[in-house]
Structure 1
Amino acid sequence: MRTITLFSFLLIIIFSGNAQSFELFDFNTSGDFQPKYFTEFNGILIFQAKDADGVELWKTDGTQTGTSKIKDLNPNGSSNPRNFIPFNGVLYFTATGGLWKTDGTEIGTEIVAQVTPEGKLTVSNNLLFFVAGNNTNGKELWKSDGTEAGTEMVKDINPGTSNSLQFNSQIIAYNNEVIFAANNGINGKELWKSDGTEAGTEMIKDINQFGMDGSNPMHFIEYKGKIYFAASDIQNGNELWKTDGTSSGTELVEDNSTDDLSSNPAKFVVYSESLFFQAESDDNKGIEMHRYNLTTNAVQRVVDIYDGSGSGGFSPAIEYNNGLYFTASKPETGIELYVRRNGSTILSEDVTPGSISGAPTAFCNCGDKMYFRAYDGNENALFEFDTTGNATKIKPNSATNEPFFISTPTELFCFKNELYLAGNYTSSGYDLWKYTVNSTLSIKDDKYNSKSIIYYPNPASDKITITSNNSTNINQIAFYTITGKLVLKEDVNHNEITTSIKNLNAGIYIVNIKTESSSFTKRLIVE
């Protein structure tokens, strides 16, 4: 039988607050390390970074000794690896010289084909799809099966040297095909699809049949089994459309503005069974958050952040604690953080009080916290946000500089329940930092004593049952060690659940239980 020591029990009694630490990973002593494009693959974190050899491919397991350059892909300069995507058990990416792949080792990192993909890679129908160009065909749709022989142009959609796609063209996977916008030189930029064969690459529908400008489809997103996007035609302007990949199944969802005016839908995100986006209605309320729900089959403005004709905008950030967080603006607060939860929309955090914008960006969930970059009135800083709705600025004790360059986008990434970022905190430069939260939970919180949640048995060795005593369902349960490491999480939607804990080691755990209306934390002894 698993046993638990008295020492472990005492640990949970004295444990309280947010013990936290920052660790610097400086592997370029002569300048900025500049890590970016973090990607988790096979238990390691892969990214690009800079040292004396230039910008190359690096990895870390979260330790100093486990951090190293995988390979110098371009001995004559920088290779700039990016656009990482898992495919057939290895990680593919773009870099100087062509399409590459890696298994995380030097010997397992090699070039696939000497074609240079432009933009992101998309996996569909057991193929990699991307945009690439040459002097003969211009920028067109390409594919790869992961081999040099199997990497080729799918179709010269716009014959000759003219481009049918652009370097930033969005390609979305859908039903073993890809959907994208392309210009064949006749119809303008219209809606296309491909299964990876020349014969199976075709225009789905000529949405705007007047002139050569095309309908310019963009902002593709899958929702309820179909692809939604914005497109323009001469009758309706730029509005919300959907497609199932067929001409007859491609149709206008709703003309959200009268006559030929445009609502210009953009920034789509799926949340709580609905499609949210920013758009402009025809009632002179500016650009605000809108919602389309398939059940009601209607588009409606959700909230008017900026009262009157001004535009509050809507920039979806992240889903956290059962809410959709986004940024919007109004004169009184500037650009700040809002949340939509349980049918209501409120200002969540005014990072910089008054009319100055906090402008939160670079959102990331890690453990049971949310992190983001924002301006606090003095500097662009890192903030930690918890389920109670409190945002706290955090930084290393050794910090002497403003951490984030205004002109440099910030990227936050959660790996092994620790936060990774590039920051300019000290004189060492713009380097890799790891932020460890030893615990995100406090036993002094009154929620521990709440009788709204019952759990038994405790101690336990095989399974526990958790019951909500009120009318709300349990949405999620998460088990943390006393050092704050997440070891088990389940998403549920029931009033009572029974969960196996057979795989947990003997010890004391903090169990965070989220319901439809609140969050509770309990202490569990596993024998």
Structure 2
Amino acid sequence: MKKFWKWRLGFFILVLSLTNPVHSKPIFQTLRNDTKLINKAYLVEDIKSGTESSNPESFMQHGNIAYFSADMGEAYGLWKTDGTTEGTNLVKENLRGPISVNFELVEFVEFNESIYFNGNEQTVNDSQLWKTDGSPEGTIQVFQLDYADPSNFSVVNNLLYFNAGFPFTKLYKTDGVSTILVRDEPLPVNTKFGDTLYYIHCENIDLCELKRFGTISALNFSEISVQNNPLVVFNGFLYFVAKDGEHGSELWRTDGEIEVGLFMDLNPSGDGSPQIIGIGNELLYLNVANQDGNNDLWRTDGTIEGTFKIQLGDYIFDKSLGSINLSTGNQPEGIFLRCKLEGDRYYSICFSDGTLNGTVVLTELNFVRNTSNTSIQRVYEVLENNLYFTKYDKDHGVELWRSDGTPEGTALWLDILPGPASSEPLSYGICGERLCFSVNDFIHGRELWSTDGSIENTQLVMDINKNPGSATPIGLSVDEGEINFVANDDNGNSHLWGIHNNGNKLETVIDDQEIIIDSNNRGNPPFIYLNQHYFYVSQDQNDFNKYRLWSYDQLSDHKWIVQDNETGIINFEFIEYVKSKDKLFFTSYDDSSNDFHIWKSDGTEDGTKIILTIDVEWT
């Protein structure tokens, strides 16, 4: 064992002999005697000082009610809300609804005055088919099958069809009471058109047919190409992608009775391979491959003359974010689209009214900055002809934005946590006549909020998870007019925070590194502020198993691992530090040389030196 106690005693004696330390007043006494600092210090309570998060997610709209899942602390529960506090109630405990994937709406279906969905009891590892009418007694499991994971719901002739099973899914149907196997194969691409279920049946990867359920014949031709496109019902026709040997992969349609055939050859020189993006403003929007191998945005109203290209520069369009349909006002009718330039890191939000001049870029959709859950949760929704979405900028963090479909009408709408701190709105969904979403206000944790589209009526709906869960602020320090402390963010990671600009701005000082709190009880503070430099312990970015003493220059936004520039020695196995007057003294141990180092620093790289090296003896 390395015996350090005598070197620690010598270290503090050396510090006292080299300096004439002036002991400042205790931090709590300082705050108590300075009214100005008391007002600033109250902002510390904004850092997750309330409760744990319930993380409401996966909204399912049914009439004026939305169902969602929430973490209640000991268990998940299925809840319902109309967007008001009094209209928010627990439906069933120990039940979690479907989970959103890639920002999509969760899959569910209305059937026989109930909603049917993919649900999971916390005591069971796989998802099953559940239904609810909004009451605890009306929330029951409909179907039991090992690894069921039901999906692809279609209601046809008072029966619910769905796929279930693993590793090979099969087609089932239910009347809500009994469930039977219909077909020993899945129908991954299917949709209801009229009173008939249409589906894609493939003999092999190159031979697929469009069929109607209940018949064995295909629709007058054999070879079609699905290309992962859904079957889409639009203006009285069922649209799909097909090829007949004469044309490439193009857009076809059927009325379900007589007319079946090619709608339009969008790329006569090859495969148009149209991808149906969405429907808005009574138009069908498509992504179509051109002769150069790129994709163009097209629109159609179902007529040949009403079908043409509306491409915006080199943007790629791949998804609808929702449509708006206004009958009055100056805002255009149209559709919000997700778009992106080749090589861009983030997607943007575009809008189109179906014309070339009316297809515009609104803003970059860089909502992924500083968020941890957006890979699975929906971060946009349309309410009363405005798109609400989550977006990051450096001045406001990740907050709630709104767009009316025009560039000038697209801006930050509500900064729930003023300044660079982020409330991170997630899990958007319509609940009654309101928009519901989850927000972390750092008081209640991540909980359910709603809005009717006005800022004054945007508020917390219910604090579902009331379990205590604090950010645990520690090391509160007032130096040179700066109030700083270390506190956990909503992911449980310790970061250095500061209150600046006369107490009006709360922000992370260093947000890309976690502050390592001294777990060995050596008495180290979580950080030291010296001459506009922060000293703190964090991981070596080249070896996460080792901790280093870092310095951060706030003025130049430069951080570095403390080392002796003359010898190149880094502070291996950092031990402890202490601030004395305008100098920092700290110790480190080099396992490769058995050397115990004592350092002195004025806060700068050039002013950081080893002042004493001792060869440690083994005892």
TM class by smaller structure: 0.5 to 0.7
Q: Is the 8 A contact 1:137 1:156 kept in 2?
A: no
Q: Does 1:229 align with 2:286?
A: yes
Alignment of 1:19-418 (within 5 A): 19=86, 22-23=89-90, 25-26=92-93, 37-50=107-120, 54-72=126-144, 74=145, 77-96=146-165, 98-106=170-178, 109-119=179-189, 121-135=190-204, 138-144=207-213, 149-150=214-215, 153-154=218-219, 157-158=222-223, 164-166=225-227, 168-182=228-242, 188-196=248-256, 200-211=259-270, 214-234=271-291, 237-245=294-302, 249-252=306-309, 254-257=310-313, 261-264=314-317, 266-267=319-320, 269-271=322-324, 272=326, 273-279=333-339, 288-293=348-353, 298-301=357-360, 303-304=362-363, 317-321=380-384, 323-341=386-404, 344-351=409-416, 355=420, 358-374=423-439, 381-387=446-452, 388-389=454-455, 390-392=458-460, 394-399=462-467
* Residue identity (%): 24
Separation of aligned partners in 1, 2:154 and 2:389: 26
Separation of aligned partners in 2, 1:226 and 1:195: 18
Cα deviation digits, residues 480-520 of structure 1 (max 9, x gap): xxxxxxxxxxxxxxxxxxxxxxxxxxxxxxxxxxxxxxxxx
Q: Is the 8 A contact 1:140 1:165 kept in 2?
A: no
Q: Is the 8 A contact 1:327 1:360 kept in 2?
A: yes
Amino acid of the structure 1 residue aligned with 2:358:
V
Separation of aligned partners in 2, 1:193 and 1:378: 54
Amino acid of the structure 2 residue aligned with 1:298:
N
Q: Is the 8 A contact 2:91 2:135 kept in 1?
A: no
Q: Is the 8 A contact 1:125 1:177 kept in 2?
A: no
Alpha-carbon distance, 1:118 to partner:
0.9
Residues 139 and 384 (structure 1 numbering): CA distance in 2 closer, same or farther, change over 3 Å?
A: farther
Residues 330 and 209 (structure 1 numbering): CA distance in 2 closer, same or farther, change over 3 Å?
A: farther
Q: Is the 8 A contact 2:336 2:405 kept in 1?
A: no
2:188 match: secondary structure? strand
Separation of aligned partners in 2, 1:350 and 1:170: 38
> TM-score, normalized by length of structure 2?
0.48
Q: Is the 8 A contact 2:379 2:427 kept in 1?
A: no
Alpha-carbon distance, 1:187 to partner:
5.2
Separation of aligned partners in 1, 2:203 and 2:424: 40
Alignment of 1:511-522 (within 5 A): none
Q: Is the 8 A contact 1:278 1:288 kept in 2?
A: yes
1:47 match: secondary structure? strand
1:215 match: secondary structure? coil
Residues 241 and 334 (structure 1 numbering): CA distance in 2 closer, same or farther, change over 3 Å?
A: farther
Structure 1 unaligned residues grouped into runs of 5+? 1-16, 308-314, 407-527
Separation of aligned partners in 2, 1:206 and 1:230: 14
Residues 186 and 362 (structure 1 numbering): CA distance in 2 closer, same or farther, change over 3 Å?
A: farther
Separation of aligned partners in 2, 1:232 and 1:135: 25
Q: Is the 8 A contact 1:336 1:359 kept in 2?
A: yes
Residues 292 and 105 (structure 1 numbering): CA distance in 2 closer, same or farther, change over 3 Å?
A: same
Q: Is the 8 A contact 2:323 2:334 kept in 1?
A: yes
Amino acid of the structure 2 residue aligned with 1:98:
K
Alpha-carbon distance, 1:189 to partner:
3.7
**Which structure has more strand as a fraction of its residues?**
1
Alpha-carbon distance, 1:217 to partner:
1.7
Name the Cα RMSD after superposition: 4.4
Aligned counterpart, 1:491: none
Amino acid of the structure 1 residue aligned with 2:128:
E
Separation of aligned partners in 1, 2:421 and 2:277: 33
Structure 2 unaligned residues grouped into runs of 5+? 1-83, 100-105, 327-332, 367-377, 471-489, 492-619
Q: Is the 8 A contact 2:229 2:276 kept in 1?
A: no
1:383 match: secondary structure? strand
Q: Is the 8 A contact 2:389 2:402 kept in 1?
A: yes
Amino acid of the structure 1 residue aligned with 2:268:
Q
Separation of aligned partners in 2, 1:351 and 1:236: 44
Residues 156 and 115 (structure 1 numbering): CA distance in 2 closer, same or farther, change over 3 Å?
A: farther
Aligned counterpart, 1:462: none
* Larger displacement relative to structure 2 (352-361 or 41-50): 352-361
Alpha-carbon distance, 1:349 to partner:
3.0
1:209 match: secondary structure? coil
Residues 103 and 115 (structure 1 numbering): CA distance in 2 closer, same or farther, change over 3 Å?
A: same
Residues 348 and 142 (structure 1 numbering): CA distance in 2 closer, same or farther, change over 3 Å?
A: farther
Residues 203 and 54 (structure 1 numbering): CA distance in 2 closer, same or farther, change over 3 Å?
A: same
Separation of aligned partners in 1, 2:175 and 2:316: 46
Q: Is the 8 A contact 1:281 1:301 kept in 2?
A: no
Residues 85 and 34 (structure 1 numbering): CA distance in 2 closer, same or farther, change over 3 Å?
A: closer
Alpha-carbon distance, 1:139 to partner:
4.8
Q: Is the 8 A contact 1:325 1:340 kept in 2?
A: yes
More RCO (CA 8 Å, sep 6+): 2
Separation of aligned partners in 2, 1:397 and 1:173: 42
Q: Is the 8 A contact 2:267 2:289 kept in 1?
A: yes
Q: Which of 1 and 2 has greater Rg?
A: 2
Alpha-carbon distance, 1:45 to partner:
2.7
Separation of aligned partners in 2, 1:262 and 1:194: 31
Separation of aligned partners in 2, 1:367 and 1:224: 23
Residues 356 and 217 (structure 1 numbering): CA distance in 2 closer, same or farther, change over 3 Å?
A: farther
Alpha-carbon distance, 1:41 to partner:
2.1
Q: Is the 8 A contact 1:337 1:348 kept in 2?
A: yes
Aligned counterpart, 2:24: none
Q: Is the 8 A contact 1:305 1:330 kept in 2?
A: no
Separation of aligned partners in 2, 1:392 and 1:124: 41
Q: Is the 8 A contact 1:98 1:115 kept in 2?
A: yes
Q: Is the 8 A contact 1:122 1:172 kept in 2?
A: yes
Separation of aligned partners in 2, 1:139 and 1:357: 49
Amino acid of the structure 2 residue aligned with 1:174:
F
Amino acid of the structure 2 residue aligned with 1:364:
G
